[in-house]
Amino acid sequence: MQLRNIIAVAALGGLASAANNSTLTNATPSVDSGCSFSSFTATAAGQLQSVAACETAVGDVVVYGDSFRSIELTGLKQLYGNLAIRNASQATVVNAPTLQLVSGQLEVSGGTILSNLNLAQLTTVGSLEFNALPALEHTGLTAGLTSADSIVISDTGLSQLTGINVYKLKVFNVNNNKDIDTIDSGLQEVTDTLDISYNAEKVDVILNQLKSANNIILQQINSFQAPNLTSTNGSIAISKSSIEKIELPKVESAGSVVINQNDDLEEIDFSKLTSLSGALQISDNDNLKSLDGFNSLKTVGGTININGSFDNGTFDALSRVSGGFILKTDGQLSCSAFNKLNSNGDVRGDKFQCEDKVTTSSSSSAKSNSGSSSNSATGGSSQSSEGGSSSSGSSSSSRKSEGSSNVGKLASVVAAFAGIGFVLI
The DSSP code sequence of 83-100 is: EEEE--TT--EEE-TT--
Residues 259 and 393 in one domain: yes
Q: What is the pLDDT of residues 236-246, one digit of tens each?
A: 999 999 999 99
Residues 183 and 199 in one domain: yes
Residues 185 and 91 in one domain: no
Q: What is the DSSP string of 58-90?
A: EEEEEEESTT-SEEE-TT--EEES-EEEE--TT
pLDDT at 3 over 50: no
Residues 141 and 187 in one domain: no
Residues 320 and 207 in one domain: no
* pLDDT attached to residue 393: 37
pLDDT at 389 over 80: no
Is 234 within 8 Å of 257 (Cβ atoms)? no
* pLDDT attached to residue 372: 36
pLDDT at 188 over 50: yes
Is 287 within 8 Å of 307 (Cβ atoms)? no
Which has the minimum average pLDDT: 4-18, 125-139, 380-394? Answer: 380-394
Q: Is the dihedral of CA 245, 246, 252, 253 positive or negative?
A: negative
Does 79 fall in a domain?
yes
Q: What is the pLDDT of residues 400-416, one digit of tens each?
A: 433 333 333 333 333 33
Domain boundary among 166, 184, 199: 166
Residues 196 and 297 in one domain: no
β-pairing verdict for 382-384 and 395-399: unpaired
Does 424 fall in a domain?
no
DSSP 8-state secondary structure symbol assigned to residue 120? T
Which has the minimum average pLDDT: 72-86, 218-232, 336-350, 391-405? Answer: 391-405
* pLDDT attached to residue 27: 72
Choose between 328 and 391: higher pLDDT. Answer: 328
Q: Is the dihedral of CA 330, 334, 337, 339 positive or negative?
A: positive
* pLDDT attached to residue 26: 57
Among residues 285, 300, 213, 295, the alpha carbon closest in space to that of 249 is found at 295
* Rounded Cα gap, residues 254 and 278, in angstroms: 8
Residues 140 and 41 in one domain: yes
The distance in angstroms from the start CA to the end CA of the chain is 38
Residues 68 and 208 in one domain: no
pLDDT at 359 over 50: yes
**Domain that includes residue 401, residue range:** 230-413
pLDDT at 54 over 70: yes
Residues 308 and 399 in one domain: yes
* Amino acid code (one letter) for 106: L
| Average pLDDT score, the chain | 84
% of the chain exceeding 90 in pLDDT: 73
pLDDT at 364 over 80: no
Q: Which residues pair with 399 in a beta bridge?
A: 359
List the alpha helices (DSSP H) in 313-403. 336-343
Q: pLDDT class for 345, splitting at 50, 70, 90?
A: very high
Does 422 fall in a domain?
no
Choose between 381 and 271: higher pLDDT. Answer: 271
Q: pLDDT class for 387, splitting at 50, 70, 90?
A: very low
Does 220 fall in a domain?
no
Say how many domains are in the chain.
Answer: 3
In order of 163, 261, 293, 294, the CA distances from 312 in angstroms are 46, 20, 10, 11
Choose between 80 and 186: higher pLDDT. Answer: 80
Domain boundary among 150, 166, 182: 166
CA angle 17, 22, 25 (to 5 degrees): 125
Does 223 fall in a domain?
no
Q: pLDDT class for 162, splitting at 50, 70, 90?
A: confident
Is 394 within 8 Å of 363 (Cβ atoms)? yes
* pLDDT attached to residue 29: 87
Helix and strand numbers, DSSP H then E, in the chain: 3, 34
* pLDDT attached to residue 362: 92
Is 177 within 8 Å of 196 (Cβ atoms)? no
* pLDDT attached to residue 406: 36
Among residues 15, 8, 13, the alpha carbon closest in space to that of 146 is found at 15
The CB density around residue 120, as the number of other CB atoms within 10 Å, is: 16
Residues 33 and 155 in one domain: yes
* pLDDT attached to residue 379: 34
What are the backbone dihedrals phi and psi of residue 239, each rounded to the nearest 5 degrees, phi first? Answer: -150, 160
Q: What is the pLDDT of residues 293-329, one digit of tens each?
A: 999 999 999 999 999 999 999 899 999 999 999 999 9
Residue 52 host element (H or E): helix 49-52
Q: pLDDT class for 1, splitting at 50, 70, 90?
A: very low
* Rounded Cα gap, residues 192 and 209, in angstroms: 17
* pLDDT attached to residue 384: 33
* Amino acid code (one letter) for 37: F
Residues 265 and 157 in one domain: no
Counting beta carbons within 10 angstroms of the beta carbon of residue 131, is it exposed (0 to 12), middle (13 to 18) or buried (19 or more)?
buried
pLDDT at 369 over 90: no
Residues 158 and 190 in one domain: no
Residue count (the chain): 425
Choose between 379 and 364: higher pLDDT. Answer: 364
Does 360 fall in a domain?
yes
Choose between 348 and 27: higher pLDDT. Answer: 348
Average pLDDT over residues 236-260: 97
Does 372 fall in a domain?
yes
Among residues 131, 127, 139, the alpha carbon closest in space to that of 101 is found at 127
Does 113 fall in a domain?
yes
Measured torsion, CA atoms of residues 222, 226, 230, 232, in degrees rounded to the nearest 10:
-50
Q: pLDDT class for 365, splitting at 50, 70, 90?
A: low
Q: pLDDT class for 118, splitting at 50, 70, 90?
A: very high
